[in-house]
């Protein structure tokens, strides 16, 4: 797959960002004094390199302006700004698939804060719930448990069928667990 690079807005000639969500420092010349002979100034060149990201929930990179000022912008904001444009007023970056480390252009969009909240609740909660290492039930099973409870069927029989404890089945059926599913179901 071809990777497209564009200048990082505000850091043109210093950094570029790709549609694959990578950020690189461009090779550039600089002058360095010899520590043993301060009067000697050497011409050097920094090589081009891919920047490492931090490991928080939303990856960031360290960028240095020509005056030495350091900023640590979010990588998904750099991708969106370079390829889509500045965020319209009141908009924020959204990862469509819910993976905050996936900063590919095709996975990013500007949305309102409210749209971001709705997206996380309705679209991503299912992924989070079923990918949770502690989850014993699928979304479909929880729906079946809730329907059984409403219709007066035995939740304990479904618990045995699904291979979970009666407590786990009752908690899912009553909404003590899988709380966000109530909004979507």
Residue 125 token pair: 């909660």
Q: Which residue has the higher pLDDT, 138 or 114?
A: 114
Residue 146 token pair: 């809730």
Choose the weakest-confidence range: 34-43, 105-114, 125-134, 164-173. 125-134
Backbone angles phi, psi at 161, to 5 degrees: -60, -40
Grouping H, G, I as helix, E, B as strand and the rest as coil, residue 91 is strand
CA angle 175, 180, 182 (to 5 degrees): 55
Q: Is pLDDT above 80 for 161?
A: yes
Q: Which residue has the higher pLDDT, 172 or 113?
A: 113
Residue 133 token pair: 């290492």
Q: What angle do helix axes 166-174 and 155-162 make, rounded to 10 degrees?
A: 120
The answer to whether the CB of 16 falls within 8 A of the CB of 5 is yes
Residue 76 to residues 50, 54, 80, 88, 124: CA-CA distances in angstroms?
A: 16, 13, 6, 15, 18
Band of the pLDDT at 133, cuts 50, 70, 90?
low
Grouping H, G, I as helix, E, B as strand and the rest as coil, residue 112 is strand
Percent of the chain whose pLDDT exceeds 90? 43
Q: What is the pTM of this model?
A: 0.64
How many Cβ atoms are within 10 Å of 52's Cβ, its own excluded? 10
pLDDT tens, residue by residue, 31-80: 788 878 888 888 888 889 999 999 778 999 999 998 889 999 999 999 99
Q: What are the boundaries of each domain within the chain?
A: 132-185
């Amino acid at each position: 797959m071809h990777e497209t690079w564009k200048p990082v807005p505000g850091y043109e000639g210093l950094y570029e960002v790709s549609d694959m969500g990578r950020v690189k420092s461009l090779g550039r010349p600089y002058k360095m004094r010899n520590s043993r002979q301060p009067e000697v100034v050497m011409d050097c060149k920094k090589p081009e390199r891919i920047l490492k990201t931090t490991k928080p929930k939303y990856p960031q990179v360290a960028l240095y302006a020509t005056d030495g000022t350091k900023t640590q912008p979010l990588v998904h904001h750099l991708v969106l700004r370079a390829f889509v444009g500045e965020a319209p007023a009141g908009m924020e970056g959204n990862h469509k698939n819910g993976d905050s480390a996936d900063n590919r252009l095709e996975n990013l969009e500007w949305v309102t804060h409210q749209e971001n909240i709705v997206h996380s609740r309705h679209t991503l909660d299912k992924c989070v719930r079923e990918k949770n290492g502690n989850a014993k039930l699928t979304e479909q099973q929880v729906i079946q448990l809730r329907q059984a409870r409403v219709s007066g069927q035995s939740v304990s029989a479904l618990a045995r069928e699904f291979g979970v404890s009666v407590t786990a089945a009752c908690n899912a059926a009553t909404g003590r667990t899988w709380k966000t599913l109530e909004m979507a179901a």
